[in-house]
């Protein structure tokens, strides 16, 4: 009697809450700070033993990539467990299902991720910020040791895919960013060369906004940030004015436009504050641009007379024009992505077979040992495991031929591991427990 080790089938899943189906009011509820990523992983692990997680949180999406083992055929149940954990952790009382996309299986998830890093799933097609955002999410999980082997491989393959697409297409050439789109919309609404502009935040989006304004020869820009030193340093490098964060709201009486882009988890300016400000401004027109998730500006502010509010979702018209402009490059990118999807699928299918093959070889070896000839010692040398040298040689030949034959047949029957139903049957045939 011996024990057969069950093969472990590693599976991955994805929950995506993105700008295509989810408004900013929902997306901001599911934004994750780094500390929350660890907390959520631990929270889920108490409900269900996952083997890895990567959480991407940007202004346009929150995506949860997760990995788990030995639950073939239970993908839907596991998805519902993680969705339940998500709404509980974020204390979201309304229905999330209409705003979340579910994906399972290596092909669907690799296609989504490879398109995303190549800029095809971004609000702004071809934009390059998503590359750094994905790398930050990946390396955070790796550093915190919450990254499983399949997630590690799929993300590394995505970095390779993104680089290949950008090197062999013009998808990013002249691509607009969210910051660029915001500046273009501001230009249409105002004579920005005659406007005074306040920029709140010194993150990547805010810096890009300022650079686009400077390209348009706008110099009347004032910068503030919750960390005064960061704002002052960046302002000095571009010869801009700087105002301390504790005093920036007093500056509203002097400006025409304010662009907010910070990582604050709560609004920085309220309805009542803007209402009071507008009275002091004598209802002089004010444009507020909110490029943050969660939002920095309360949404109902747009109802105040004289206030024009542009949120990140208000950039879609300009984005659609950008998509049409890049259509031919998108088709080239899709072909490159398809090749990388095929490579990854072959790798994961081979990996799914690996454990089964090793277990089958062990089982064949044990069966041959049980049914081999009795040990003989008539003057013949005995090896360390009790077999004569001749018997050991015959044993090895039989084991090699029989196990190799079985492995070949299994590879054919399962299409090199791609046929998940066949994989499940193979598991049942060779599982004697």
Whether residues 240 and 218 share a domain: the answer is yes
Q: Sheet holding 257-260: strands in order across?
A: 241-242, 221-224, 197-200, 257-260, 286-290, 307-311
pLDDT tier for residue 11 given thresholds of 50, 70 and 90: confident
Whether residues 76 and 163 share a domain: the answer is yes
Tell me the pLDDT tens digit for each residue of 243-282: 999 999 988 888 999 999 998 989 999 999 999 989 888 8
pLDDT at 388: 60
pLDDT tier for residue 3 given thresholds of 50, 70 and 90: very low
Q: Is the dihedral of CA 78, 80, 85, 90 positive or negative?
A: positive
Among candidate residues 12, 59, 231, 258, the one labeled active-site is 59
- Asked if residue 239 belongs to a domain, the reply is yes
Whether residues 118 and 132 share a domain: the answer is yes
pLDDT at 427: 66
- Asked if residue 85 belongs to a domain, the reply is yes
Task: Output the pTM of the full model.
Answer: 0.77
Task: State yes or no: pLDDT of 1 exceeds 70.
Answer: no
**CATH number of the domain to which 288 belongs:** 3.40.50.720
Tell me the pairing of strands 101-104 and 307-311.
unpaired
pLDDT at 387: 54
pLDDT tier for residue 87 given thresholds of 50, 70 and 90: very high
Q: Please tell me the distance from the alpha carbon of residue 85 to that of residue 24, in angstroms, as a whole number.
A: 21
Whether residues 96 and 236 share a domain: the answer is no
Task: State yes or no: pLDDT of 78 exceeds 80.
Answer: yes
pLDDT at 50: 92
pLDDT at 174: 64
Tell me the pLDDT tens digit for each residue of 317-339: 776 777 777 788 999 999 999 99
pLDDT tier for residue 198 given thresholds of 50, 70 and 90: very high
Radius of gyration of the chain (CA): 29
Whether residues 170 and 74 share a domain: the answer is yes
Tell me the pLDDT tens digit for each residue of 348-359: 877 777 767 777
CA atoms within 13 A on the CB side of 146: 23
What total of structural domains would you count in the chain? 3
**CATH number of the domain to which 106 belongs:** 3.30.460.30
pLDDT tier for residue 398 given thresholds of 50, 70 and 90: confident
Tell me the pLDDT tens digit for each residue of 223-235: 999 999 988 999 9
Whether residues 46 and 193 share a domain: the answer is no
Whether residues 21 and 106 share a domain: the answer is yes
Q: How far is CA 97 from CA 22, 80, 92, 116, 238, in A?
A: 10, 10, 12, 21, 46
pLDDT tier for residue 404 given thresholds of 50, 70 and 90: confident
* Peptide bond between residue 294 and the one before it cis (omega within 30 degrees of 0): yes
Tell me the pLDDT tens digit for each residue of 135-194: 999 999 999 999 999 999 999 999 999 999 999 998 887 666 788 888 988 888 888 888
* Domain that residue 422 falls in: 354-430
- Asked if residue 5 belongs to a domain, the reply is no
- Asked if residue 275 belongs to a domain, the reply is yes
pLDDT at 379: 44
Percent of the chain with pLDDT over 70: 86
Whether residues 312 and 332 share a domain: the answer is no
Tell me the pairing of strands 221-224 and 101-104.
unpaired
Q: Please tell me the distance from the alpha carbon of residue 252 to that of residue 423, in angstroms, as a whole number.
A: 65
Question: What residues have CB less than 8 Å from 205, skipping those under 6 apart?
Answer: 59, 129, 177, 178, 179, 261, 291
Whether residues 169 and 52 share a domain: the answer is yes
Tell me the pLDDT tens digit for each residue of 370-395: 766 555 445 444 444 555 666 667 76
Task: State yes or no: pLDDT of 5 exceeds 60.
Answer: no
- Asked if residue 26 belongs to a domain, the reply is yes
Task: State yes or no: pLDDT of 287 exceeds 80.
Answer: yes
Q: Does residue 85 carry a catalytic annotation?
A: no
- Asked if residue 1 belongs to a domain, the reply is no
The CA-CA-CA angle for residues 318, 324, 327, to 5°, reads: 140
CB 108 within 8 A of CB 11: no
Whether residues 316 and 344 share a domain: the answer is no
pLDDT tier for residue 71 given thresholds of 50, 70 and 90: low
- Asked if residue 2 belongs to a domain, the reply is no
Percent of the chain with pLDDT over 90: 54
Whether residues 51 and 141 share a domain: the answer is yes
Tell me the pLDDT tens digit for each residue of 94-112: 899 999 999 998 899 999 9
Q: Residue 414: helix, strand or coil by DSSP?
A: coil
Task: State yes or no: pLDDT of 118 exceeds 90.
Answer: yes
Whether residues 312 and 366 share a domain: the answer is no
Q: Which residue has the higher pLDDT, 347 or 44?
A: 44
Averaged pLDDT for residues 212-220: 91
The CA-CA-CA angle for residues 124, 129, 130, to 5°, reads: 80
- Asked if residue 103 belongs to a domain, the reply is yes
pLDDT tier for residue 219 given thresholds of 50, 70 and 90: confident
């Amino acid at each position: 009697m011996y024990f057969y080790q069950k093969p472990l089938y590693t599976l991955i899943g994805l929950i995506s809450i993105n700008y295509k189906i989810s408004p900013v009011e929902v997306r901001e509820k599911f934004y994750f700070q780094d500390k929350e990523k660890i907390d959520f992983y631990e929270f889920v692990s108490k409900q269900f033993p996952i083997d890895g997680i990567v959480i991407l949180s940007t202004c346009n999406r929150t995506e949860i990539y997760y990995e788990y083992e030995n639950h073939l055929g239970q993908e839907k149940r596991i998805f519902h467990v993680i969705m339940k954990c998500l709404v509980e952790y974020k204390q979201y009382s309304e229905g999330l299902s209409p705003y979340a996309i579910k994906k399972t299986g290596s092909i669907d998830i690799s296609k989504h991720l490879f398109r995303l890093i190549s800029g095809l799933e971004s609000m702004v097609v071809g934009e390059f910020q998503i590359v750094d955002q994905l790398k930050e999410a990946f390396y955070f999980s790796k550093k915190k040791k919450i990254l499983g082997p399949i997630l590690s491989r799929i993300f590394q393959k995505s970095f390779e895919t993104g680089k290949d697409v950008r090197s062999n297409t013009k998808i990013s050439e002249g691509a607009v960013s969210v910051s660029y789109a915001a500046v273009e919309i501001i230009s249409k609404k105002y004579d920005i060369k005659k406007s005074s502009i306040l920029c709140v935040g010194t993150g990547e989006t805010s810096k890009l906004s300022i650079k686009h304004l400077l390209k348009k020869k706008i110099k009347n820009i004032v910068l503030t940030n919750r960390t005064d030193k960061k704002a002052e340093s960046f302002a000095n490098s571009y010869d801009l004015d700087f105002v301390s964060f504790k005093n920036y709201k007093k500056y509203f009486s002097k400006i025409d436009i304010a662009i907010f882009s910070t990582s604050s988890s709560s609004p920085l300016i309220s309805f009542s504050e803007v209402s009071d400000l507008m009275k002091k401004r004598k209802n002089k027109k004010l444009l507020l641009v909110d490029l943050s998730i969660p939002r920095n500006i309360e949404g109902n502010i747009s109802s105040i007379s004289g206030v024009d509010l542009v949120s990140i979702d208000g950039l879609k018209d300009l984005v659609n024009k950008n998509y049409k402009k890049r259509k031919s490059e998108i088709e080239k990118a899709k072909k490159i992505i398809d090749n990388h999807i095929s490579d990854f699928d072959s790798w994961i299918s081979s990996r799914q077979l690996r454990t089964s093959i090793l277990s089958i070889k062990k089982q064949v070896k044990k069966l041959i040992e049980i049914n081999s000839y009795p040990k003989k010692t008539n003057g013949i040398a005995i090896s360390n495991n009790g077999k004569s040298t001749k018997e050991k040689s015959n044993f090895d030949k039989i084991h090699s031929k029989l196990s190799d034959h079985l492995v070949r047949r299994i590879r054919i029957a399962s299409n090199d591991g791609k046929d998940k139903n066949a994989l499940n049957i193979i598991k049942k045939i060779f599982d004697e427990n």
